[in-house]
């Protein structure tokens, strides 16, 4: 399996160029379901230690159904197949530039949730225009052991998010253990209370917002991902969901730009245009850097061939 690794604001992406499973030629949403149900061991083996690393997201390149797209892609982490991934799309675009497959300008990429576009501004700076994002529920409260009532919004940005602002705990890089524990507890409380996205879709990401020390930043966030790792970047799909909330609350205007900081201090520039279905079309600009190119080996004699599964 031939892979190229990059990171986007510290969050790793592993692009799988070849050697992935055959998922057929159906719609990307059906191919993503097939990856999730029939090839779980394989995609986990690519993400888990010792072959992968904590927080890594995989990007399996597939043939697009839309001939205008430069590629199709299915994203996943060590726990789940994702609908979309913003940092992954920035990393994928930087990888395609590194390979000489795309150059400056705008290119389309097909994902299981729809076609997104990337504008290559320089080899490392990419602007992603995401699918229409929306808030579906405002001011939902859950009881969390040891914390009390936590209130947030349910919003969709290609994945489902519970967005809590202000955070009940300090959003800072020296508080990651507590942030992780509390966001996991919030996700469990949402499940226990039967709170979900559309058609029962699980809310598998939780975001807490707090103030930033950077006077140029709108806020600092902490994002819990399905695999219980935190996003080192500000999370592209999470920022999309957040933009939908800010727009719905009248706190950010169409075309206005903000700087969103992650818990480790990396940042995205964010803005939106009004969408056709009462949501927003988000733009996320960030930087990615290619780090490694490798061939992964799956030796049947390796006792940890499928990764360290505890
Ligand atoms: O950037 O959208 C994102 C993302 C999702 C999970 C990790 N990163």
SS3 content of the chain, % helix, strand, coil (to 5): 20, 40, 40
If one residue of 78, 84, 85 were mutated to test the ligand 1 pocket, choosing by the most ligand atoms within 8 A of its CB, it would be 85
The answer on 165 and 74 residing in a single domain is: no
Please state the domain count of the chain.
2
The answer on 139 and 218 residing in a single domain is: yes
Q: Classify residue 307: in a domain, yes or no.
A: no
Task: Encode pLDDT of 89-126 as tens digits.
Answer: 999 999 999 999 999 999 999 999 999 999 999 999 99
The answer on 116 and 64 residing in a single domain is: yes
Q: Classify residue 284: in a domain, yes or no.
A: no
Residue 57 CA: nearest ligand 1 atom is 7
Task: Find the 82 Cα to ligand 1 centroid distance in Å.
Answer: 8
Q: Classify residue 306: in a domain, yes or no.
A: no
Residues of the chain with pLDDT under 70: none
In this structure, what CATH number is given to the domain that contains residue 264? 3.10.310.10
DSSP-derived 3-state class of residue 118: strand
If one residue of 159, 206, 227, 232 were mutated to test the ligand 1 pocket, choosing by the most ligand atoms within 8 A of its CB, it would be 159
Cβ-in-10-Å burial (0-12, 13-18, 19+) of 96 comes to buried
The answer on 227 and 259 residing in a single domain is: yes
Q: What is the pLDDT of residue 310?
A: 85
Q: Classify residue 309: in a domain, yes or no.
A: no
The answer on 229 and 192 residing in a single domain is: yes
Could you say which DSSP state residue 188 is in? Answer: H
Catalytically active residues, by annotation:
85, 235
Q: What is the pLDDT of residue 6?
A: 98
Pocket of ligand 1 (CB under 6 A): 11, 57, 82, 85-87, 159, 225, 231, 233, 235-237
**CA 204/CA 196 separation, integer angstroms:** 9
The answer on 196 and 86 residing in a single domain is: no
Domain, as residue range, for 178: 134-274
Residue 234 CA: nearest ligand 1 atom is 1
Q: Classify residue 228: in a domain, yes or no.
A: yes
Name residue 107's beta-bridge partners: 118
Q: Classify residue 231: in a domain, yes or no.
A: yes
**CA 122/CA 118 separation, integer angstroms:** 12
Task: Find the 231 Cα to ligand 1 centroid distance in Å.
Answer: 7
Q: Classify residue 304: in a domain, yes or no.
A: no
Q: If we measure between CA atoms, which residue out of 153, 178, 151, 171 comes closest to residue 163?
A: 153
The interface predicted TM-score (ipTM) is 0.99
DSSP H or E run through 236: helix 236-248
The answer on 201 and 215 residing in a single domain is: yes
Task: Find the 178 Cα to ligand 1 centroid distance in Å.
Answer: 21
The answer on 204 and 100 residing in a single domain is: no
Q: What is the pLDDT of residue 308?
A: 96
Q: How far is the CA of 273 from the CAs of 126, 214, 240, 283, in angstroms? A: 18, 26, 11, 8
Residue 88 CA: nearest ligand 1 atom is 1
Task: Find the 242 Cα to ligand 1 centroid distance in Å.
Answer: 13
If one residue of 82, 84, 118, 243 were mutated to test the ligand 1 pocket, choosing by the most ligand atoms within 8 A of its CB, it would be 82
The answer on 139 and 65 residing in a single domain is: no
Q: Classify residue 301: in a domain, yes or no.
A: no
The answer on 91 and 29 residing in a single domain is: yes
Q: What is the largest CA-CA distance in the chain?
A: 58
The answer on 246 and 172 residing in a single domain is: yes
Number of C-beta neighbours around residue 90 at 10 A: 30
Task: Find the 249 Cα to ligand 1 centroid distance in Å.
Answer: 24
The answer on 124 and 138 residing in a single domain is: no
Task: For residue 166, say if its preceding peptide bond is cis, omega within 30 degrees of 0.
Answer: yes
pTM: 0.97
């Amino acid at each position: 399996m031939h892979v190229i690794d990059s990171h986007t604001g510290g969050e790793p992406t592993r692009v799988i160029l070849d050697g992935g499973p055959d998922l057929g030629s159906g719609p990307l949403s059906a191919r993503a379901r097939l990856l999730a149900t029939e090839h779980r061991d394989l995609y986990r083996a690519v993400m888990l230690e010792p072959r992968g690393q904590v927080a890594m997201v995989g990007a399996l390149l597939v043939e697009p159904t839309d001939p205008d797209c430069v590629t199709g892609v299915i994203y996943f982490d060590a726990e789940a197949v994702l609908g979309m991934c913003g940092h992954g799309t920035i990393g994928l675009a930087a990888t395609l530039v590194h390979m000489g497959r795309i150059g400056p300008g705008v290119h389309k990429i097909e994902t299981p949730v729809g076609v997104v576009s990337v504008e290559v501004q320089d080899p490392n700076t990419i602007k992603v225009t995401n699918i229409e994002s929306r808030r579906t529920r405002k001011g939902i409260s859950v009881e969390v052991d040891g914390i009390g009532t936590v209130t947030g919004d349910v919003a969709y940005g290609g994945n489902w998010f519970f967005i809590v602002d202000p955070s009940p705990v300090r959003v800072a890089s020296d508080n990651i253990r507590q942030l992780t524990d509390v966001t996991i507890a919030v996700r469990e409380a949402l499940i226990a209370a039967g709170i979900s996205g559309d058609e029962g879709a699980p809310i598998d990401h939780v975001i807490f917002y707090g103030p930033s020390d950077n006077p140029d930043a709108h806020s600092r966030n902490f994002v819990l991902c399905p695999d219980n790792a935190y996003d080192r970047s500000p999370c592209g799909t999470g920022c999309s969901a957040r933009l939908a909330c800010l727009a719905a609350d009248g706190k950010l205007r169409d075309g206005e730009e903000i700087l969103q900081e992650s818990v480790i201090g990396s940042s995205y520039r964010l803005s939106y245009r009004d969408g056709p279905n009462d949501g927003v079309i988000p733009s996320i600009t960030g930087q990615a850097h290619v780090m490694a190119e490798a061939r992964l080996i799956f030796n049947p004699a390796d006792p940890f061939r499928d990764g360290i599964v505890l």
